[in-house]
Amino acid sequence: MILETKGISKSFDSIQALQNVDVKIESSEIFGIAGPNGAGKSTLFNVIAGVYRPTNGKVYFEGRDITRLGPHRICHLGLARTFQVPKTFPTLTVYDNVRVGATFGGHKRPVAIQKTIDSTLRFLGINAARDTLAANLDLYTAKLVGLAMVLATECKLLMLDEPLAGLAINEIEDFLGVIRKINKEQETTIIMIEHILDALIDISDRMLVLDNGEVIYTGAPEKVSEDQRVIDCYLGKVEA
């Protein structure tokens, strides 16, 4: 078990964003998280990544309690995340954006940092854009650069927040291929939030569904569309 949350709850004044969320993530799996808008998905990501401290509960990474650690310390341990809107430095080149990740996450010597950058750019197929300013990238390439920045930290667990948002159908297929490649070839554990349920079902080994901050389903992806609580959550209850 690489990541575990126990009884995670998070309140914002009178709003209960998460309620007793228990998650267990196994090493090298792709774990999907779904749910309607406002279900608590991004809040859970922010709690795990150290952006928010939970009101109650604990977060464990590789058996270590990381509940009260800041995002930078959690990243240095090997847990990193992307964002729905790519967080790049627009005035820097692709190469220098990835260098930020390699320098921040790896604590390496300059020669090793350069090797990490070069190998990451090649791995994701964006080496040809290495000298392009991030401000001039299309959305798909910008998402790959954001992904490269995270991978350059040499993370063990990668959290993807709606990576397919805004992509065309052919780009979605390509990006899912990239995610599978990271998972298989680098043996990186992946947690993925996504609104495109069919894509999430297709790529995940296991899934969790949140609604109003509560877990309503955990289990096999192929069974999620048969669960009545999930059906009610996404489609609304059918009147007799």
pLDDT at position 105? 78
Measured CA to CA, the distance from residue 190 to residue 109 in angstroms comes to 27
Strand 3-12 with 15-25, pairing: antiparallel
* pLDDT at 106 exceeding the cut of 70: no
Share of the chain above pLDDT 90, in %: 87
pLDDT at position 107? 62
Tens digit of each residue's pLDDT (9 = 90 or more) over 189-235: 999 999 999 999 999 999 999 999 999 999 999 999 889 988 888 75
pLDDT at position 240? 43
In terms of Cα–Cα distance, which of 208, 209, 165, 156 is closest to 183?
Answer: 156
Tokens of residue 2, six digits: 């690489």
In terms of Cα–Cα distance, which of 177, 187, 179, 192 is closest to 156?
Answer: 187
Average pLDDT, stretch 90-102? 96
* pLDDT at 18 exceeding the cut of 50: yes
Of all residues in the chain, what percent are helix, strand and coil, respectively (each to 5)? Answer: 40, 25, 35
pLDDT at position 234? 72
* pLDDT at 155 exceeding the cut of 70: yes
Question: If DSSP states are collapsed to H, E and C, what string results for 171-189?
Answer: HHHHHHHHHHHHHHHCCCE
Confidence of residue 109 (pLDDT cuts 50, 70, 90): confident
Q: Within the chain, where are the H helices?
A: 41-49, 71-77, 94-106, 110-123, 139-151, 169-185, 197-203, 221-224, 228-235
* pLDDT at 92 exceeding the cut of 60: yes
Domain map (residue ranges) of the chain: 1-78+157-170+187-240, 84-154
Q: Which top CATH class is 1-78+157-170+187-240?
A: alpha beta
Please state the pTM of the whole predicted model.
0.92
pLDDT at position 73? 94
Contact 97, 89 (CB under 8 A): yes
Q: Order of strands, edge to edge, in the sheet holding 64-65?
A: 15-25, 3-12, 56-61, 64-65
Q: Under DSSP, is residue 198 helix (H, G, I), strand (E, B) or coil?
A: helix
* pLDDT at 239 exceeding the cut of 60: no
Least reliable range by pLDDT among 71-75, 109-113, 166-170, 193-197: 109-113
pLDDT at position 111? 86
Share of the chain above pLDDT 70, in %: 96
pLDDT at position 235? 59
pLDDT at position 236? 64
